[in-house]
Structure 1
Amino acid sequence: MLYSMTGYGEAYCQDENLSIGVELRAVNNRYLKVQLRGPETHQALEPEFEKVIRKAVRRGTIQVHLRLQRKRNTGEFQIQVEALRGYLRQLQDLGQELKLGPKLVENLAGQLLMLPGVIPEDAPVGKLLEEDWPRIEIMLQRALEKFQAMRVTEGQWMASELLALKEGIAGHLERIRGLALQAVEGYRDRLLERVRGLLRESGATINPADLIREVAVFAERADIAEEIVRLGSHLEQFAMALKEVESPGRKLEFLVQEMARETNTMGSKAPDVEISREVVEIKGGLERIRELIQNVE
């Protein structure tokens, strides 16, 4: 089964105290890379996200968008009056000592709310992560399910496209197989006709063994039988790989590389214009396959 390396999934939930949103987006990458974007307080959860994602995804850059909104009770903002009074007294005393104007002292008084002990501090980050992660993980799993479903759907489409391209290449290869046999026979006939014409004009004779040797040299130089067999074998392996349970992206990349090598060799040895045309068609099909499998996990 093919899995696309691109996909999207999202999940959201909300209760009385916390709303959570998780979005997953993926782009191509030869390896797995997880990037967490969210509140600074929760960046330490990136390894936990990667552990969960790695169980389902093998390759690609996965961008995780984490959105958190915490509802706070008014009681959490109760001012510690005694602490504030203490700071204010010190500020007023300092104002008198330094002969600061009342307006300046009044402006500075607004900054006292930021001083330690005036408003209770938030819970420690470690405690927040410990409390939030179980609910975040549930949303991550739900987003991952949608993400995987999209990757499978796109993978099925790519598999059908790749299979059609493979069949097209196989058709061109079969035509090359027939043309290769005709090419040697055609060369022999053209050579014989040319030699007969020269003999008629000059009245000379030629040793039949020399003619046979020339045809044999051409046949050996233009022999693409091995390339045809190997390319056919690679095409069969390619079709089998498309049916594997595990997504075979790397194997497909290797097979396309090998098929391109055999095709280039056939092109360089092609003894016939028609064979060259078929080789060009095969190269076009392989290029389209190469583009598609760049997105296969």
Structure 2
Amino acid sequence: MLLSMTGFGEARRHDQKLQVSVEVKSVNNRHLKVTVRCPDAALGIENEIERVVRGAIGRGTVNVNLRITRVDGVTSSQLDVERLRSYWREISAIAAEFKAEPPKDLTQFIDLPGVINDSSDALVSSDQWPLVEAAVREALAKLDEFRQREGIAMRDEMAGLCKEVQGRVHVVAERAPEVVTEYRAKIKQRVSDLLRESEVVIGDADLIREVSIFADRCDITEELARLRSHIDQFLKLLDATPSSGRQLEFLCQEFIRELNTIGSKANDITIAHAIVEGKAAVEKIREIVQNVE
């Protein structure tokens, strides 16, 4: 199933000690990049969270925001008295230097760096990790549902665009033989006009040789066959499991390569227009593929 790299999921779990809230957001990226934000006292489980995320997601930039609150009445923060005293001494010394009175309200010092610290005890112990893991996995499951819904819409859109490309390929395939036939009639008429008042005679062998050279130079049979094969493979990958974004990107490059070759070979305005329309559809496909895992 096709998966979008863009999604959002959240989950909440709690027990008698902790309440855990997890948000997971993902956007497109050529590789997998995981960023975990969690309380300082829970940094010990950051690697475990990243391991779980990497096991569920293959590509994209994933941001995990973890919030943990104690519900057992035990505070996870404490006042650093020594740091507060240090700030007070420095402020008092500066006030004395400028012959001013130091501040009397100590609450102004609470927001200074280091005055309030998380408790030295780990907020999440080893026996509480299963609670956090369950919340992370639930958020990832909701993220996956979001990505699947977007993937279905993207799959339908790209399938429709592939049908447009197939339609342009059909136009080119039908028109190609007519180009050679029209060239033969055109060159025959041109030679007849030039030699109308002379006694020079151009044999059929000369005309056939010239037309054969033109037909060989404009032959796009191989390019059409490869392009049809690429389109068939692309349509199969849209329903493949797991999601194959990298392969789809490669096939888009091959679409453009074959269309460019056909356009440069086929000396015909109808084919040129069909190629331009086909390339426009492929560019729309490429934009969508950029967000496929």
TM-score (norm 1): 0.81
In structure 2, stretches of 5+ residues that fail to align are 80-100, 110-117
How far does residue 31 in structure 1 lie from its aligned partner after superposition? 1.5
Q: Is 1:34–1:50's contact at 8 Å kept on the other side of the alignment?
A: yes
* 1:274 aligned onto 2:270: yes
Q: Choose between structure 1 and 2: higher helix proportion.
A: 1
How far does residue 54 in structure 1 lie from its aligned partner after superposition? 1.9
Distance 1:71 1:177, change over 3 A: same
C-alpha distance in 1, partners of 2:78/2:273?
Answer: 83
User: What's 1:162 paired with?
Assistant: 158
User: What's 2:41 paired with?
Assistant: 41
Deviations 1:223-268 (A, max 9, x none): 1111011101111111111121210111111111111111110111
Identical columns (%): 43
Q: Any residues of structure 2 matched to 1:36-185 within 5 Å, and which?
A: 36-71=36-71, 73=73, 122-125=119-122, 128-185=124-181
Q: Is 1:12–1:22's contact at 8 Å kept on the other side of the alignment?
A: yes
User: Counterpart of 2:119 in structure 1: which amino acid?
Assistant: D
C-alpha distance in 1, partners of 2:76/2:172?
Answer: 80
Q: Is 2:18–2:72's contact at 8 Å kept on the other side of the alignment?
A: no
User: Counterpart of 2:226 in structure 1: which amino acid?
Assistant: R
How far does residue 78 in structure 1 lie from its aligned partner after superposition? 11
Q: Is 1:45–1:129's contact at 8 Å kept on the other side of the alignment?
A: no
List 4+ stretches of structure 1 deviating above 4 A: 74-79
User: What's 2:279 paired with?
Assistant: 283
Distance 1:208 1:3, change over 3 A: same
* 1:264 aligned onto 2:250: no
Which secondary structure state, in structure 2, belongs to the residue aligned with residue 66 of structure 1? strand
C-alpha distance in 2, partners of 1:236/1:145?
Answer: 32
Q: Which moved more, 1:130-139 or 1:156-165?
A: 130-139
* 1:255 aligned onto 2:251: yes
Which secondary structure state, in structure 2, belongs to the residue aligned with residue 167 of structure 1? helix
C-alpha distance in 1, partners of 2:43/2:239?
Answer: 39
How far does residue 189 in structure 1 lie from its aligned partner after superposition? 0.6
C-alpha distance in 2, partners of 1:284/1:74?
Answer: 62
User: Counterpart of 2:260 in structure 1: which amino acid?
Assistant: N
* 1:197 aligned onto 2:200: no
Q: Is 2:41–2:119's contact at 8 Å kept on the other side of the alignment?
A: no
Distance 1:76 1:52, change over 3 A: closer
- Number of matched residues? 270
Which secondary structure state, in structure 2, belongs to the residue aligned with residue 36 of structure 1? strand
Q: Is 1:35–1:46's contact at 8 Å kept on the other side of the alignment?
A: no
Which secondary structure state, in structure 1, belongs to the residue aligned with residue 196 of structure 2? helix
In structure 1, stretches of 5+ residues that fail to align are 80-102, 112-120
How far does residue 25 in structure 1 lie from its aligned partner after superposition? 0.2
Q: Which moved more, 1:271-280 or 1:206-215?
A: 206-215
